[in-house]
């Protein structure tokens, strides 16, 4: 199996473990916030599978990079092949030859019984570009918000029913 095959197999294992963990979580009956052992084991296995996928991808790309650094002639040959392929697969550009202009035949002279329609021409209609001017609007008039004066809360005239007689003078006795 090639290195790419190992990466795909590890990714498939990761997806299977994630699906199994989701199934266990959804069908399990956790009580009072306890995490079942199955979920813990599958979570650890998912973490290992993620590390495996990341490691295999890094090793696969890293091994190729190290090989190309150690063999610069091979790297240059791959670069030249890619450039040659780009040149051969590019679409052919036709030579720029101007086409002769087509002149419309003269229209007949208008007669007294002519309609009010514009004469038929073969030239395409050209529209002026549309320019958008920002609309300036006057600011909306807002009613002033009156601010209420800050006053202290009135003191009760009678003491609360549960007040204790004391020396502070607020007991009402």
Q: Give domain limits for the chain.
A: 3-87
Taking only the tens place, the pLDDT of each residue in 29-87 is: 766 678 888 999 999 999 999 999 999 988 888 888 888 889 999 989 988 888 887 77
pLDDT score for 147: 73
Residues 51, 85: Cα–Cα separation, whole Å: 37
Higher pLDDT, 146 or 173: 146
Taking only the tens place, the pLDDT of each residue in 81-128 is: 888 877 776 566 666 666 666 776 777 665 655 556 666 666 555 666
pTM, rounded to two decimals: 0.39
Angle formed by the axes of helices 3-27 and 37-70, nearest 10°:
160
What is residue 100's three-state secondary structure?
A: coil
């Amino acid at each position: 199996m090639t290195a790419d095959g190992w990466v795909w197999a590890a990714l498939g294992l990761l997806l299977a473990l994630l699906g199994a963990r989701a199934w266990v979580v959804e069908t399990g009956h956790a009580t009072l916030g306890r995490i079942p052992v199955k979920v813990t084991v599958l979570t650890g296995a998912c973490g290992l599978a993620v590390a495996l996928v990341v490691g295999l991808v890094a090793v696969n790309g890293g091994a190729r990079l190290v090989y190309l650094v150690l063999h610069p002639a091979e790297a240059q040959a791959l670069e030249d092949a890619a450039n040659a392929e780009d040149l051969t697969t590019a679409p052919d550009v036709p030579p720029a030859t101007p086409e002769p202009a087509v002149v419309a035949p003269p229209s007949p002279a208008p007669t007294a019984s002519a309609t009010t329609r514009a004469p038929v021409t073969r030239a395409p209609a050209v529209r002026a570009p549309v320019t958008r001017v920002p609309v300036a609007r006057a600011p909306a008039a807002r009613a002033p918000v009156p601010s209420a004066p800050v006053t202290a809360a009135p003191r009760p005239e009678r003491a609360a029913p549960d007040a204790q007689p004391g020396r502070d003078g607020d007991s009402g006795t």
